[in-house]
Amino acid sequence: MALTTLGICASPRLNGNTDLLLGRALLGAEHAGSKIESLHLCDYRLDGCTECEACYTTGSCGIDDDYDRIQEKLLAADRIIFATPVFFMTVSAQAKLLIDRGQCLWVRKTVLGKALFEPRRDRRGMIIAVGGSGSKRQFDCVRQPVESFFDYLEISHASSLFVRHVDEKGAVLKHPEALAEAFRLGSELAGSEEPVPEEPVCVELS
């Protein structure tokens, strides 16, 4: 059975640089034989966590919005590519909303002691982040929250693609190396049967 790869675009800008790189990574995954699906967070109603603690009883989020639809896709996928622009040295607001709402899954695992999968599945993830700044530090506060997101979803962080000096809409189309690396890493994410390396592959481009 073919693997499924879910691409999550956390950019508020349609067809922007984040979206374009995610598309190339998904093409790579498809080339490797994976079924692919793309999810744009701005197409969903996603409210912020209210810390109501309903999940401490049920293991599920008590907010009535589209989170359950997204969570279903997150848990079904074998591979996840999480793509975000860099806003003020961290992930976008849309990305942070999704990450925070996973509190219910963290509670389900660590407080209620309910495993997400029995047996544990081979799930792997990739991070794509695009920033207009030239600073290498802009990706530090992207990597950490997304790795936490992967952790509570029981996803091994396999690779990252970080691209600096890309800001204007569509500018990444003039960066063939970034497009090629997105395709390559997406293909490797979906096609490799090798064990996940102890440290994720990280490609940083400018």
Residue 38: pLDDT above 90?
A: yes
Provide the β-strand partners of residue 126: 81, 159
| pLDDT more than 90, % of the chain | 90
Assign domain 4-205 to its CATH architecture.
3-Layer(aba) Sandwich (3.40)
What is the average pLDDT across 181-185?
98
Residues comprising the chain, all counted: 206
Query: What pLDDT, on a 0 to 100 scale, did the predictor assign at position 169?
Result: 94
What is the average pLDDT across 79-100?
97
What is the average pLDDT across 62-81?
97
Amino acid symbol at 83: A
Q: Report in angstroms the alpha-carbon separations of 80 from 5, 49, 72, 131, 200.
A: 6, 22, 13, 21, 14
Query: What pLDDT, on a 0 to 100 scale, did the predictor assign at position 126?
Result: 98
Query: What pLDDT, on a 0 to 100 scale, did the predictor assign at position 8?
Result: 98
Residue 202: pLDDT above 80?
A: yes
Average pLDDT value over all residues in the chain: 95
Tokens 């090798």, located at residue: 194
Domain spans, the chain? 4-205
Residue 102: pLDDT above 90?
A: yes
Nearest to 18 by CA among 159, 142, 170, 148: 170
> pLDDT per residue over 9-37, tens digit each?
999 999 999 999 999 999 999 999 999 99
> pLDDT per residue over 86-96, tens digit each?
999 999 999 99
Q: Model-level pTM?
A: 0.96
Q: Sorting pLDDT into bands at 50, 70 and 90, what band is 197?
A: confident
Residue 120: pLDDT above 90?
A: no
Nearest to 27 by CA among 16, 17, 37, 13: 37
